[in-house]
Amino acid sequence: MRPGKILLGVLAGVAFGAMVGILLSPEKGSVTRKKIAKKGGAYSDALKEKVNDFRDNISQKIDKVKEEVSELVKQNKAKSEETKKT
């Protein structure tokens, strides 16, 4: 499995566990609903941040690979031209 999927699975499991724990608490329904909304928003924000960080990291790696490939192409063209001259 990919690390991104594992991370999302863990975060989803933690969020689900927290929600079940809150739902089974002996508090009034209105208090429980407020807690669920508050926790859900916090988990949602954290998940969005993780996804954005992951996306940025992947974008940086893709850009680096593009640069390396471009450099290799330039080197191979130069070698090709040099070979043609001889």
Spell out the domain ranges in the chain: 3-85
The conformation of residue 27, written as its DSSP 8-state character, comes to S
Cβ neighbors of 11 (< 8 A, separation 6 or more) are 43, 46, 47, 50
Residue 10 phi/psi, 5° resolution? -65, -45
Read off the pLDDT of residues 17-62 as tens digits, 9 standing for 90 and up.
877 877 777 778 788 778 778 887 888 888 888 888 889 999 999 9
Confidence (pLDDT) at 1 = 60
Q: How confident is the model at residue 79 (pLDDT cuts 50, 70, 90)?
A: confident
State the virtual CA torsion across 62, 68, 69, 74 in degrees, nearest 10: 150
Location of structure tokens 């001889």: 86
